């Protein structure tokens, strides 16, 4: 009998116990304005599990030392922990080598590093860089700056009314002048998951290099940079349940090897004289100065936590929540969901007739429900949909159907007040 | 819900629903300014008719949240017929009211804006119209930004 019950369960549902998961996140167990916190701002940043907090504290309490130089025990322990974190990231992305994993401050710095180092060495006047119309400002502005510096041209592949990439237009814009395609894997403002495998195939066929902005994809999707064959991939720790101030740039070794350093300083050199400096090997060539050691260790702990839960189980749980929330919002009069692409991560951007998103945000805050209201650092997306801003509920692995119900009740309050 | 009403008082909700002087001043407007709150995307355009140092007419348009719309609407009501000096004094009093724990004193209806002080993220919504007024009276050419 018991075996029959087990068979009926889906593997994800059997493994994924959301109540137990919630207990791992101390910040979730609090009240806001007298109501239990309902945290639906995960696309901005996620809460941190105890394992991450403890890893960071353990480093500062027991192992605190600088890395890659000391001969003493603490420095050896710190170095080992820091490099173990890099090894975990390599597995998380399925990169070929740890030399391809560069620690940076976040996805934004990763993009800037590539624009600055690879860009200035490889992009010339008349060349083109192709992005999409759903990019976050951090995947627009560094390329604009580069284009301005070298006289290249920034081109933008359009999106349709559902918020999906218009693939034919993207293909049409690719040409022999396209040096690089920079595209978001999953849109922060719309939730759209881009067909990145096809994007990379087509871009490579046109001779272009591809950078994927994985800031939103990393918490929701399993990433395999080798299967994707992408050239650069960036993500931020704080959106995958790790600490702020640390992130990752993945780059194919042959590309990173040929790139000039991004910043000069300690740790990125082998030998320095006033006449000449010999740069360090990968990935240290790109890690000038004392790195965010505790941050990297915290990110390693976050990856351990995610992997133990099972990335597929997390994705299935979030997908179920997205479907439930999308259906629930459709029952509220005046709600318009912005971003209805077929392939979506658990991000729900919406407007409510006659009520500005900021007012929605304030009223929901009174109900203990934390969402984001604004342009989500994607002003061109707002312009595309003809709205100044949206309200955005974004879900993480610890959210529940009850959280969605609280959101819906909060929106009813908004309608009462402004109706 | 009760404490939420200290922010969204009935006067605020009413001015948001039916903003006063929500129009471009068609003729004779001679002072203009635009305001922008990059954080929430609020935009405001203000046109004034100033004759002999007196604000004869005023109109505004744009898009914004309830707080910024109501603040702009209440402002246009309160400055119409005032001298430029009086309007500038009012700007300073309202600014103090919103950014310090100043005494609302004789601000009359504008006192409802004081509720925003408990919502630091929303103060800029309420001050946008007033900074735009200040710029229009000084005939500033650059758009005002709350950032």
Between positions 300 and 359 of A, the ones with CB within 8 A of B are 355-359
Among A47, A1, A57, CA closest to A24: A47
Full 3-state SS string of A46-62: CCCCHHHHHHHHHHHHH
pLDDT value at residue B3? 80
Q: Residue A149 in contact with residue A120, Cβ under 8 Å?
A: yes
Interface-testing mutation among B36, B40, B63, B68, with chain A (most A C-beta atoms within 10 A) = B40
Residue A45 Cα, gap to closest chain B Cα (Å): 18
Chain B residues closer than 8 Å to A382 by CB: 41
Classify A209 as helix, strand or coil: strand
Q: What does A306-340 look like in DSSP terms, one character per residue?
A: HHHH-HHHHHHHHHHHHHHHHHHHHTSTTEEEE--
d(CA A412, CA A155): 42
Instruction: Please list the alpha-helical segments (H only) found in A50-195.
Output: 50-58, 73-93, 107-113, 120-122, 141-150, 167-173
Using omega within 30 degrees of 0 as the cis cutoff, is the peptide bond preceding B61 cis?
no
Q: Which residues of A are catalytic?
A: 377
Q: Residue B21 in contact with residue B80, Cβ under 8 Å?
A: yes
Chain A residues closer than 8 Å to B67 by CB: 358-359
Are the Cβ atoms of A362 and B122 closer than 8 angstroms?
yes
Are the Cβ atoms of B40 and A363 closer than 8 angstroms?
no
Under DSSP, the state recorded for A152 is: -
In chain B, which residues have pLDDT < 50? none
**Which residue of chain A is at minimal alpha-carbon distance from B1?**
A366
Chain A residues closer than 8 Å to B41 by CB: 374-375, 379, 382, 388-389
pLDDT value at residue A60? 98
Among A150, A202, A196, CA closest to A174: A202
Q: Residue B128 in contact with residue B64, Cβ under 8 Å?
A: yes
Nearest CB to B4: which of A366, A375, A382? A366
Nearest CB to A359: which of B3, B63, B65? B65
**Which residue of chain A is at minimal alpha-carbon distance from B125?**
A358
Interface-testing mutation among B66, B124, B147, with chain A (most A C-beta atoms within 10 A) = B66
Q: Residue B123 in contact with residue B147, Cβ under 8 Å?
A: no
Residue A47 Cα, gap to closest chain B Cα (Å): 21
d(CA A256, CA A311): 28
Are the Cβ atoms of A388 and B125 closer than 8 angstroms?
no
Q: Residue A346 in contact with residue A318, Cβ under 8 Å?
A: yes
Interface-testing mutation among B3, B35, B41, with chain A (most A C-beta atoms within 10 A) = B41
Q: Is A369 on the interface with B (CB under 8 A)?
A: no
Angle of helix B66-79 versus helix B123-137 axis, rounded to 10: 40
Interface-testing mutation among B15, B65, B128, with chain A (most A C-beta atoms within 10 A) = B65
| Angle subtended at Cα A264 by Cα A260 and Cα A267, rounded to the nearest 5 degrees | 105
pTM for the full predicted model: 0.93
Sequential pLDDT tens for chain A (419 residues): 344 333 334 444 456 899 999 999 999 999 998 999 999 999 999 999 999 999 999 999 999 999 998 889 999 999 999 999 999 999 999 999 999 999 999 999 999 999 999 999 999 999 999 999 999 999 999 999 999 999 999 999 999 999 999 999 999 999 999 999 999 999 999 999 999 999 999 999 999 999 999 999 999 999 999 999 999 999 999 999 999 999 999 999 999 999 999 999 988 989 999 999 999 999 999 999 999 999 999 999 999 999 999 999 999 999 999 999 999 999 999 999 999 999 999 999 999 999 999 999 999 999 999 999 998 899 999 999 999 899 999 999 999 999 999 999 999 999 999 98
pLDDT value at residue B40? 73
d(CA B6, CA A11): 50
Between positions 179 and 198 of A, the ones with CB within 8 A of B are none
Chain A residues closer than 8 Å to B42 by CB: 388
pLDDT value at residue B147? 62
Residue A370 Cα, gap to closest chain B Cα (Å): 14
Nearest CB to B125: which of A358, A375, A417? A358
pLDDT value at residue B41? 77
Q: Is A391 on the interface with B (CB under 8 A)?
A: no
Q: Is A340 exposed, middle or buried (0-12, 13-18, 19+ CB in 10 A)?
A: middle
């Amino acid at each position: 009998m018991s075996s029959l019950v087990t068979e009926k369960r889906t593997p994800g549902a059997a493994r994924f116990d959301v109540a137990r998961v919630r207990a791992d996140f101390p910040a979730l167990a609090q009240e806001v304005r007298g109501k239990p916190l309902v945290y639906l701002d995960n696309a901005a940043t996620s809460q941190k599990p105890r394992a991450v907090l403890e890893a960071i504290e353990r480093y500062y309490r027991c192992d605190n030392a600088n890395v890659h130089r000391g001969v003493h025990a603490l420095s050896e322990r710190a170095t080992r922990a820091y490099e173990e974190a890099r090894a975990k990231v390599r597995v998380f992305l399925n990169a070929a080598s740890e030399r391809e994993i560069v620690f940076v401050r976040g996805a934004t710095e990763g993009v800037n590093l590539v624009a600055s180092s690879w860009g200035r060495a490889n992009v010339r006047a008349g060349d083109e860089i192709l992005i999409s119309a759903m990019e976050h400002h951090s995947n627009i502005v560094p390329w604009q700056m580069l284009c301005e510096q070298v006289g290249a041209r920034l081109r933008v592949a359009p999106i349709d009314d559902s918020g999906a990439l218009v693939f034919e237009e993207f293909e049409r814009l690719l040409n022999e002048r396209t040096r690089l395609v920079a595209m978001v894997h999953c849109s922060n403002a719309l939730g759209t998951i881009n067909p990145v495998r096809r994007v990379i195939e087509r871009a490579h066929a046109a001779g272009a290099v591809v950078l994927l902005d994985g800031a939103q994809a990393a918490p929701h999707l399993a990433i395999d940079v080798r299967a994707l064959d992408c050239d650069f991939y960036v993500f931020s720790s704080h959106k995958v349940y790790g600490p702020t101030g640390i992130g990752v740039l993945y780059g194919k070794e042959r590309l990173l090897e040929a790139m000039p350093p991004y910043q000069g300083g300690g740790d990125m050199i082998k030998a320095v004289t006033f006449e000449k400096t010999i740069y360090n090997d990968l990935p240290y060539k790109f890690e000038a100065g004392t790195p965010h050691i505790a941050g990297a260790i915290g990110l390693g702990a976050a990856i351990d936590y995610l992997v133990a839960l099972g990335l597929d189980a997390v994705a299935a749980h979030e997908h179920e929540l997205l479907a439930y929330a999308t259906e629930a919002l459709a029952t509220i009069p005046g709600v318009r969901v912005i971003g209805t692409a077929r392939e979506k991560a658990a991000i729900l951007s919406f407007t409510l007739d006659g009520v500005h998103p900021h007012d929605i945000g304030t009223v929901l805050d009174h109900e203990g429900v934390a969402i984001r209201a604004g342009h989500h650092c994607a002003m061109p997306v707002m312009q595309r949909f003809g709205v100044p801003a949206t309200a955005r509920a974004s879900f993480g692995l610890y959210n529940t159907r009850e959280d969605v119900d609280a959101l819906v009740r909060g929106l009813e309050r908004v309608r009462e007040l402004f109706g | 819900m009760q404490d939420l009403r200290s922010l969204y008082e009935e006067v605020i909700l009413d001015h948001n629903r039916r903003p006063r002087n929500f129009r471009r001043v068609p003729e004779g407007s001679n002072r203009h300014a635009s305001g922008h709150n990059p954080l929430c995307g609020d935009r405001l355009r203000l046109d004034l008719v100033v004759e002999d140092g007196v604000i004869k007419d005023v109109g505004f348009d744009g898009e914004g949240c309830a707080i910024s719309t109501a603040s702009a609407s209440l402002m246009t009501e309160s400055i119409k017929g005032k001298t430029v000096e009086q309007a500038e004094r009012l700007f300073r009093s309202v600014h103090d009211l919103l950014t310090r724990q100043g005494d609302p004193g004789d601000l009359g209806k504008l006192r409802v804006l004081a509720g925003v002080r408990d919502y630091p993220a929303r103060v800029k919504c309420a001050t946008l119209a007033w900074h735009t007024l200040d710029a229009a009276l000084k005939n500033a050419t650059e758009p005002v930004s709350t950032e």
